[in-house]
């Protein structure tokens, strides 16, 4: 494993050791135990570090929550689906993303979206946005946060760790976006045109069902080795 990869992964352990133990609900502890048993001890440490971030940010302002979640998940490793999962396009659940220690842009964005929803940010303020990353000349996904219904959204991205307004990301060309209920065609850097229900997206439906049922899938390579 590359030295930079090992460095990123040690940040989780450093976060764990920074303060005392946290209190977990029975359900949260069961999920930590499940991920640790399936993926190994380091995955269990990452789960505890994630739960610490969630616990410490429950009552924080939205801006603080955005930064904490963006910074936490951006520590994980970017790796393409065909390398990690052996298929061209696989949307991992947040537990699979944390457990396997890496994923592609969809996995970064999905994990951030679910974490922000758990932290109490309303679904109407969040969207998963498919864009064209012009510099890389490839499709990409980010999370958009709307402080108000008419605001230019702030973008959470694994390519650029700084949370910026969409108008300050000329390298990204929006295509469409969705959240838990709606789907938009993105014709501008703001709202876009409502195009129906997000249930039209079969991959999104499948991901949400798996996230609810919490099954786990083992990657074909171990990023913790």
145-183 pLDDT, tens digit each:
999 999 999 999 999 999 999 999 999 999 999 999 888
Share of the chain above pLDDT 90, in %: 79
Burial status of residue 200 (CB atoms within 10 A of its CB: 0-12, 13-18, 19 or more): exposed
Q: What is the pLDDT of residue 64?
A: 97
Asked if the model's pLDDT at residue 196 lies above 70, the reply is: no
Asked if the model's pLDDT at residue 10 lies above 70, the reply is: no
Whether residue 179 contacts residue 189, with contact meaning beta carbons closer than 8 Å, is answered with no
| Mean of pLDDT over the chain | 89
In the chain the domains, ranked by start, together with CATH numbers, are: 3-213 (3.10.620.30)
Task: Calculate mean pLDDT across residues 113-135.
Answer: 97
Q: What is the pLDDT of residue 20?
A: 60
Q: What is the pLDDT of residue 181?
A: 87
Confidence grade of residue 7 (pLDDT, cut at 50, 70, 90): very low
Confidence grade of residue 184 (pLDDT, cut at 50, 70, 90): confident
Task: Calculate mean pLDDT across residues 186-190.
Answer: 57
Q: What is the pLDDT of residue 225?
A: 85
Asked if the model's pLDDT at residue 110 lies above 80, the reply is: yes
Confidence grade of residue 1 (pLDDT, cut at 50, 70, 90): very low
């Amino acid at each position: 494993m590359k030295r930079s990869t090992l460095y990123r992964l040690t940040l989780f352990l450093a976060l764990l050791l920074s303060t005392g133990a946290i209190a977990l609900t029975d359900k949260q502890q069961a999920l930590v135990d499940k991920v640790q048993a399936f993926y190994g001890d380091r995955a269990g440490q990452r789960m505890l570090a994630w739960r610490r971030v969630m616990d410490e940010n429950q009552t924080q302002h939205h801006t603080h929550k955005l930064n904490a979640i963006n910074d936490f998940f951006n520590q994980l490793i970017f790796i393409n689906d065909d390398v990690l999962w052996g298929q061209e396009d696989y949307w991992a659940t947040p537990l699979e993303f944390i457990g396997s220690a890496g994923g592609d842009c969809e996995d970064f964005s999905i994990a951030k979206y679910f974490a922000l929803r758990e932290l109490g940010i309303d679904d109407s303020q969040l969207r998963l946005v498919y864009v064209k990353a012009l510099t890389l000349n490839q499709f990409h996904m980010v999370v958009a946060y709307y402080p108000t219904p008419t605001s230019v959204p702030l973008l959470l991205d694994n390519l650029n760790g700084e949370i910026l307004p969409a108008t300050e990301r000329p390298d990204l060309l929006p295509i469409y976006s969705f959240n838990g209920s709606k789907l938009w065609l993105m014709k501008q850097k703001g709202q876009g045109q409502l195009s129906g229900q997000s249930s039209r997206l079969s991959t999104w439906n499948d991901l949400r069902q798996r996230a609810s049922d919490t099954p786990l899938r083992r990657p074909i390579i171990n990023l913790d080795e």
